[in-house]
A and B are shown apart, each in its own frame.
Chain A
Amino acid sequence: MDLQQRHHLRISGRPDGQPMIFAHGFGCDQNMWRHVAPAFEDDFRVVLFDHVGAGNSDSSAYDFDRYASLKAYADDVVRIVTELDLHDVVFVGHSVSAMIGVLAERVVPERFAKLVLVGPSPRYIDDEGYVGGFAEQDIHELLDSLDSNYLGWSAAMAPAIMGNPDRPALGQELTESFCRTDPDIARAFARVTFLSDNRADLAAVSTPTLVLQCSNDVIAPVEVGRYVADRIPDSTLVQLDATGHCPNLSAPEETTAAIAAFVRATEPEGAPVGP
């Protein structure tokens, strides 16, 4: 199948620039990067995509068995990188896509130049000696929450409900596509996301990595961000003033500046955290 259609790939910026891939997290699509990605189009070849099953991806390519683990999402990233023949890639992953990037880097580390992990969490559920922030019960509650919210969100209804007559300027394209996910796929993706455990993968990352940590992030608390930065050998932790889990939307300038400082630096900058 056509890669472009499968992932609703959108490529912009300098055609000969260093490739920079932005990956969205659970619950959203590539629109999450609309206030950040354009800032890199001057120097970089910017690649935006939707995970299969999200946004405007080809949801007929979604297979419940295949996408039962984050590995499948990572394989999709690898496929994008190899089919577009990208080298020296800067990968920016938000939320669950941070770990998807980590897994992709483990497959083709030679293709990656830098990783930027925004609000990463290698495991959301508490474990012995590890605080992820959630209990398994909480994840089931999220699934219930998805169910009760999709109840009124049938495919036909979604555009009408999400359309905002008060602010037509926000654009039809956005209201129609944003967060529009098949309820069954959303449930499956939620399960894969929040029940995953990728702690063991962190130490194997060889690419220089920036961990962007928000303040008061209920999904990925500061301790978790620190845990990630401690485990990835060549990594830097930057704490943002931005609060919540989506600094790419709530504080795009600060987020952009932090990413730019890391990816535009020709020499490795700052003292790497960790062993």
Chain B
Amino acid sequence: MTQHESAREAFFDALLDDDPEQLYDRAPCGYLSTSPDGRIVKVNQTLLTWTGYERDELLQRSFVDLLTPGGRLYHETHYAPMLRLQAAVREIALDVVRADGQRIPVLVNANLEIDEAGEPVVVRIVLFDATERRTYERELLRARQQAEASERQARELAHTLQRTLLPPKEPAIPELDIAATFQPAGDTLEIGGDFYDVFQVAEGDWVAIIGDVCGKGVEAAILTALIRDTLRAVVVGMHEPSKALSALNEVLVHHETDRFCTLVMVRMQHGAEGWTAAISSGGHPRPLLIGPGRNREEVGGQGPLVGVLDAPEFRDERVALRPGDALVLFTDGVTESRDGAAFYGDARLREVLGRPFESARSVVDAVFEDVVAYSGGPTRDDVAVVVMRVPERS
């Protein structure tokens, strides 16, 4: 063995034999022990150096005395109970106050030593300097808070925008009872594609529309506005809903987006015989006709999606409504609302609609409540329902 080699060996031996006192006192972390009730009984040199206290000063104190007042509250309400219940705490962020009043952010791990009789004996506490980590965490926290605030804002904006696309409330129509509900998809920042509109064309002449624009978000909202405004303009002087749908189709086909929509349009006209509805559907679930002696049948002429084909053919179906009759317009958010893998479906909708109803509102509420009950919480898609009902003659 050369002299060099033996010197090397002696050096490593010395490392292995490192004085336990030195290992403790010069550890790169603050290390202290307290009695179960928190009085400091032993403390290493590193912590003394960090805090600027003399050993004797610390030995008369409790661990909580080293903390900020806010930290003490946290210690007493969280840390101490946890330590008692679990015999350990990990990665608790606290500030230690130095003798000169300066604060050192630390991460604390502690173990409660329990003897064989189950009695707590000693608490061993290790403190890691976390100054830079805390700065970084504060930045993270700020970023998270900002993100949460932005999300709130975006959600509010989306809901506000969506509300502007819907009639603020159902119009009062003489001798026609009308009610509607719209529930945006739960837990989403995006504007959904469902919409409806009800407006007057002339005296005793009304239009109701319900539809679903392909997609979500701002683009869907823009398209919804375009559809609504186009239909409001073209129905003047155009009595058949099918023709209005054709006109809308042309507008959408030539519009820069490649989006389309499904739509049902109902033209309600009041004459000497009462209300007549002319109904045309463009790829949309057809309305159901309910009332005394009615069989909850689908009504309305059928046609393709609106905004896809160059020359689609839309059809109208005319229905003379009797007192007590109601037309139920809805979007696929109703029939396709889900309970796990299962769908709500047409059959269940018809079942709900089989009850006797006394008003348009009671129909809307019955359908909506049943859908919410079925999906067991916020619906995953927009849900829109519009009901027009001819009151019984009194």
Interface residue A178 (Cβ < 8 Å from any Cβ of B): yes
> In the assembled complex, which residues on chain A have CB atoms less than 8 Å from the CB atom of B137?
148, 151
Interface residue A140 (Cβ < 8 Å from any Cβ of B): yes
Interface residue B167 (Cβ < 8 Å from any Cβ of A): no
> In the assembled complex, which residues on chain B have CB atoms less than 8 Å from the CB atom of A4?
none
Which size bracket describes the interface of B in this complex? 20 to 34
* Of the residues A32, A140, A170, contact of B86 by C-beta under 8 Å: A170
What is the chain B residue whose CB lies nearest that of A27?
B77
Which one of A41-49, A72-80, A97-105, A159-167 contacts B? A159-167
Write the A149-172 contact mask toward B (1 if CB under 8 angstroms, else 0): 101100000000110101100100
Interface residue B92 (Cβ < 8 Å from any Cβ of A): yes
In the assembled complex, the CB of A23 is this many whole angstroms from the nearest CB of chain B, namely: 15
Q: A28-B81, A145-B70 are in contact. Are A170 and B76 (CB under 8 A)?
A: no
Interface residue A85 (Cβ < 8 Å from any Cβ of B): no
> In the assembled complex, which residues on chain B have CB atoms less than 8 Å from the CB atom of A148?
93, 134, 137-138, 141
- Does the CB pair A244–B73 fall under 8 Å? no
Interface residue A68 (Cβ < 8 Å from any Cβ of B): no
Main secondary structure of the interface of B (DSSP, over half): helix
In the assembled complex, the CB of A49 is this many whole angstroms from the nearest CB of chain B, namely: 17
In the assembled complex, the CB of A172 is this many whole angstroms from the nearest CB of chain B, namely: 11
Query: How far apart are the CA atoms of A26 and B37 in the complex, in Å?
Result: 20
- Does the CB pair B85–A149 fall under 8 Å? no
* Of the residues A144, A170, A179, contact of B70 by C-beta under 8 Å: A144
What is the chain B residue whose CB lies nearest that of A161?
B90
Query: How far apart are the CA atoms of A216 and B61 in the complex, in Å?
Result: 11
Query: How far apart are the CA atoms of A174 and B81 in the complex, in Å?
Result: 12
- Number of residue pairs spanning A and B whose beta carbons lie under 8 angstroms apart: 120
Query: How far apart are the CA atoms of A218 and B80 in the complex, in Å?
Result: 12
Interface residue B206 (Cβ < 8 Å from any Cβ of A): no
What is the chain A residue whose CB lies nearest that of B120?
A250
> In the assembled complex, which residues on chain B have CB atoms less than 8 Å from the CB atom of A245?
76-77, 80
28 residue pairs from A and B, CB less than 8 Å apart:
A26-B77, A27-B77, A28-B77, A34-B85, A95-B77, A138-B68, A141-B71, A142-B69, A145-B93, A146-B74, A147-B141, A148-B93, A148-B141, A162-B86, A164-B88, A166-B111, A167-B88, A178-B85, A216-B37, A216-B62, A218-B76, A219-B76, A219-B77, A242-B37, A244-B38, A245-B77, A249-B81, A250-B84
